[in-house]
């Protein structure tokens, strides 16, 4: 019940209360449907030699219009008018409800998308991308299905009230009999609706697993093909589809049993209804005919209640998943300053004092730094084995994460929740796996600086040693890079990503193993590019290869989350027992 209230409150807010007008249109359409039924009775009960209809014996309207004797043509014209009005109202209702539901779903998808974007990086690091993809696409589509089912349920309830009201004017005994019988039948089928709700929860996990298999296969297509592992992925997907099909058939069997039971029960109630009207209450033929018409309209409404409540409950779990996801990421939102913060200016350097970073579930800090200073304008290399804390250090410097305790100061200005986001506007990041959007070169570079002029774009490309290649392309900077930049080689993609970072004119440039996946030729190009940037900005590079480490003015070595040595490159390289010397090899002193 709590989920239903929360869902309706969500729809009310997402539609700005416009769902009420949709309900009123549904009510108006239902009233015209009832009126058309009322007008049909006197047409079928034609009497009188003059071709007119005596209304005094007609159910519902006879007591109010006994002196009114309309002709058959008048009644038919009225019926036609009512049917036309009903059709128009139904059209308006469908268009209106579809529009507000589309708006509601778009708002839901946008609000989730925004909460993902505004959340701290830590929240994303513990969440599977495929799960978020499933919520954004499959679950929100199911929310729309739940909303549509709810609209049908509201319409069925309103029509039940209208038809019950008409039946009460003829026989309150028969009305109570029909409502109680239908209600009992609806209650008896509660276990089936409960199974529908349970299936809906399973469905969320089915879509999550499906999204995971598809995303892994598509993003790892090159690896899958290189190992000839396509059949393994196809097998996994085939097994997933078989499991999904089995669960779906189980659900269909359950709901089909419910429909069968309801139809049989309705037939039994219908027979009892006619017998009671004729043998017990001894109603006249016109009233019996009218009540049978009402009954034939009531029974499908109960069936609609059963079927669409099953569908609603099976889709409601998608809303629960959506709500839980958006609440989690909203709670993890980055703190925004009430007024735009001024980013710290990097003129002297960055100092980390007693900085530690721990992640949920980890037994010890991933990083602990007692006191480290990074000089402004220098190239600092972060070295150490995998898992030693280098990437955690880079995330802290980038402002993606905040330390569990300790202070990070930019020129004596502490980096905190108020200015961390502003600081990121002065930082650029080049990751190991270069990512480009399926758009033009220009659009990819403008991501980092939307206001950049064309001259700035070409200057950044020049700095990244990629301008000559782009100039040779028929479309120049309007060239579409392809999905994830597939049109270009790994080295070319890395230089385009570097150009995107440089167009920002950052105070701090962070390179996360920018050459680890490149061949020696492309690595040499990147190394020369970084060398040209010396002194123009502060550069921090996570590196394993000697060629990148040798660029450094300063080196910080990590092991098991701690700084084991730090200092000028020349000083550390000259010590045979230093970690840096072990990376550079026997010729380290002469480098």
CATH code for the domain of 420: 3.40.50.300
Q: Is 478 in the same domain as 413?
A: yes
Q: Is 319 in the same domain as 376?
A: no
Q: Is 313 in the same domain as 360?
A: no
Say how far apart CA 276 and CA 283 lie, in whole Å: 9
pLDDT at 101: 86
Q: Is 382 in the same domain as 459?
A: yes
Residue 527 falls within a domain, yes or no?
Answer: yes
pLDDT digit string, tens, across residues 558-572:
988 888 888 898 888
CATH code for the domain of 304: 1.20.1560.10
Q: Is 458 in the same domain as 558?
A: yes
Within its chain, how far is the Cα of 447 from the centroid?
Answer: 22
pLDDT at 280: 78
pLDDT at 588: 44
Q: Is 298 in the same domain as 431?
A: no
Q: Is 216 in the same domain as 356?
A: no
pLDDT at 224: 66
Query: DSSP for 479-522?
Result: -B--GGGTTS-HHHHHHHHHHHHHTT--SEEEEESTTTTS-HHH
Domain around 123: 108-332
pLDDT at 589: 39
Q: Which residue has the higher pLDDT, 361 or 213?
A: 213
Residue 80 falls within a domain, yes or no?
Answer: no
Q: Is 419 in the same domain as 386?
A: yes
pLDDT digit string, tens, across residues 287-325:
777 777 777 777 778 778 878 888 888 888 888 889 999
Say how far apart CA 382 and CA 306 lie, in whole Å: 64
β partners of residue 137: none
Q: Is 453 in the same domain as 522?
A: yes
Residue 490 falls within a domain, yes or no?
Answer: yes
Q: Which helix (H) or strand (E) holds 470?
A: helix 467-471
Structurally, the chain folds into a number of domains equal to 2
Q: Is 323 in the same domain as 355?
A: no
- The model's pTM: 0.70
Averaged pLDDT, 477-503: 87
Residue 37 falls within a domain, yes or no?
Answer: no
Residue 296 falls within a domain, yes or no?
Answer: yes
Residue 1 falls within a domain, yes or no?
Answer: no
Residue 393 falls within a domain, yes or no?
Answer: yes
Q: How far is CA 21 from CA 176, 305, 322, 406, 581, in A?
A: 30, 22, 26, 56, 76
pLDDT at 373: 92
Q: How far is CA 264 from CA 123, 189, 307, in A?
A: 52, 13, 15
Q: Please, are residues 236 and 216 in contact by the beta-carbon 8 Å criterion?
A: no
pLDDT at 197: 67
Phi, psi of 321 (to 5 degrees): -65, -45
Averaged pLDDT, 408-427: 87
pLDDT digit string, tens, across residues 379-390:
999 988 888 888
pLDDT digit string, tens, across residues 115-139:
888 888 878 777 888 788 888 888 8
Residue 503 falls within a domain, yes or no?
Answer: yes
CB atoms within 10 A of CB 377: 16
CB atoms within 10 A of CB 362: 10
């Amino acid at each position: 019940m709590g989920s239903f209230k929360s869902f309706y409150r969500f729809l009310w807010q997402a539609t700005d209360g416009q769902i009420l007008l949709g309900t009123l249109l549904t009510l108006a359409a239902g009233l015209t449907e009832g009126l058309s039924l009322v007008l049909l009775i006197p047409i079928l009960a034609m009497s009188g030699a003059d071709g007119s209809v005596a209304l005094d014996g007609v159910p519902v309207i006879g007591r109010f219009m006994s002196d009114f004797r309309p002709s058959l043509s008048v009644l038919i014209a009225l019926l036609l008018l009512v049917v036309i009005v009903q059709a128009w109202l139904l059209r308006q209702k469908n268009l209106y409800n579809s529009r507000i539901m589309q708006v509601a779903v778009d708002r839901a998808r946008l609000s989730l998308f925004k909460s993902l974007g505004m959340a701290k990086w830590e929240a994303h690091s513990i969440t599977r991308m495929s799960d978020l993809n499933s919520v954004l696409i499959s679950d929100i589509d199911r929310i729309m299905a739940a909303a549509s089912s709810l609209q049908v349920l509201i319409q069925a309830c309103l029509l039940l009230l209208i038809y019950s009201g008409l039946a009460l004017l003829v026989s309150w005994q028969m009305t109570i009999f029909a409502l109680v019988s239908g209600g009992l039948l609806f209650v008896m089928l509660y276990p089936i609706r409960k199974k529908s709700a349970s299936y809906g929860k399973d469905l969320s996990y089915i879509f999550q697993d499906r999204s995971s298999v598809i995303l892994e296969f598509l993003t790892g297509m090159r690896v899958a093909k290189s190992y000839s592992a396509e059949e393994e992925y196809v097998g996994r997907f085939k097994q997933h589809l078989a499991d999904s099909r089995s669960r779906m058939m189980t659900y269909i069997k359950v709901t089909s049993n419910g429909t069968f039971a309801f139809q049989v029960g309705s037939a039994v109630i219908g027979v009892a209804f006619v017998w009671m009207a004729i043998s017990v209450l001894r109603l006249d033929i016109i009233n019996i005919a009218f009540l049978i018409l009402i009954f034939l309209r009531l029974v499908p409404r109960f069936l609609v209640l059963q079927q669409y409540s099953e569908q609603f409950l099976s889709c409601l779990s998608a809303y629960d998943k959506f709500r839980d996801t958006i609440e989690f990421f909203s709670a993890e939102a980055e703190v925004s300053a009430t007024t735009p913060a001024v980013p710290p200016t990097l003129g002297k350097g960055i100092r980390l004092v007693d900085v530690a970073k721990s992640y949920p579930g980890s037994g010890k800090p991933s990083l602990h730094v007692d006191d480290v200073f990074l000089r402004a304008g220098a190239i600092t290399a972060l070295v150490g084995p995998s898992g030693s804390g280098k990437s955690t250090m880079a995330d802290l410097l980038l402002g993606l994460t905040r330390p569990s305790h300790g202070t990070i100061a930019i020129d004596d200005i502490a980096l905190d929740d108020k200015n961390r986001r502003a600081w990121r506007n002065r930082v650029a990041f080049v990751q190991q796996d270069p990512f480009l959007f399926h758009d033009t070169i220009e659009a990819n570079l403008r991501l980092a600086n939307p206001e950049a002029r064309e001259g700035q774009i070409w200057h950044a490309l020049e700095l990244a040693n990629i301008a000559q290649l782009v100039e040779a392309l028929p479309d120049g900077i309007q060239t579409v890079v392809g999905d994830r930049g597939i049109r270009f080689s790994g080295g070319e993609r890395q230089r385009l990503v570097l150009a995107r970072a440089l167009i920002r004119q950052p105070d701090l440039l962070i390179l996360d193993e920018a050459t680890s996946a490149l061949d020696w030729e492309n690595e040499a190009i990147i190394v020369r590019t970084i060398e040209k940037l010396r002194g123009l900005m502060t550069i921090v590079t996570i590196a394993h290869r000697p060629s990148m480490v040798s660029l450094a003015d300063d080196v910080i070595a990590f092991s098991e989350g701690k700084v084991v040595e730090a200092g000028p490159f020349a000083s550390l390289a000259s010590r045979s027992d230093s970690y840096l010397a072990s990376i550079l090899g026997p010729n380290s002193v002469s480098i």
